[in-house]
Amino acid sequence: MNGLKTMVLMVTLTLLLVAIGGTLGGRSGMTFALIMAFGMNFITYWFSDKIVLRMYRAKEVSESEAPELYEIVRRLAHRAELPMPRIYMIDEDQPNAFATGRNPSHAAVAVTSGIMRILSKEELEGVLAHELTHISHRDILVSTVAAAIAGAISYLAQMAQWAMIFGGGRDDEDRGNPIAAIVMMIVGPIAALLVQMAISRSREYGADEGGARISGNPRYLASALRKLEMASQRIPMDANPATSHMFIVNPLSGGGIVKLFSTHPPIEERIARLESMSLRK
């Protein structure tokens, strides 16, 4: 059911991008939006893992450099029937982790130095099992493509704003309706954000459940999430908002209205679901 929901949301995002292109620029705008969607999806599919790992200055580590980490990942990957992913370390005090890669055969798991310091071995198992579930479900590719399309929608809206300010655009049959364009400039990016949030949140719940099953104990991940949530509020991280959905907990601190637009489900709800799984065992 989650897979069907995600597919519907992805199609909705793509259609929204094309509709905004058509509203802002008529047939030529629609064509431009389609080309943009194709180009961004191509780049995302082949290069997103390299881009995000370089963005956070992640360093690939060998088994001799991180033997315990390798042992945990290898054991969990075997349980999940996945190829051994590459392992990266990020020199950041905030405890966090993410997975990336276009498919299980080209996957990587990255952890911060902070997470290695504060989690027990069992809690780290819960976190890594969560990330391996993302790899198994190909969630990272889906979420990254969604982020790329949402970014393209925001970009189109900004282009339209500048065109109106400086009197751009042609007065011909390809020009979009100006009133509809204004509405799209306001509503489009908000709608794209909401769809992206829906995709990211549904995938997080699925990864929590899968991670709990792979690790063998839902309480491992529940305990880790408590620690990670508290630490992320105390220890800042210079994270790019466009990649915040990739981390196991939101690396960007903030409350109030910011939390309403978070790509992550509430930690309390995630923990409650994990604990209910533990009670059913």
Active site residues: 131
Tokens representing residue 131 in the block: 């990330």
Per DSSP, helices labelled H in the chain are: 2-55, 67-79, 113-118, 121-137, 139-165, 178-215, 218-234, 257-260, 267-280
Instruction: State residue 59 phi and psi, 5-degree precision.
Output: -115, 125
Distance CA 13, CA 194 (A): 10
Chain position carrying tokens 């431009």? 32
Beta bridge partners of residue 37, listed in sequence order? none
Taking phi over 0 as left and psi of -120 to 50 as alpha, with beta for the rest, 175 belongs to: beta
Taking the C-alpha atoms of residue 204 and residue 111, their distance in angstroms, rounded to an integer, is 17
Is the CB of residue 124 less than 8 Å from the CB of residue 228?
Answer: no
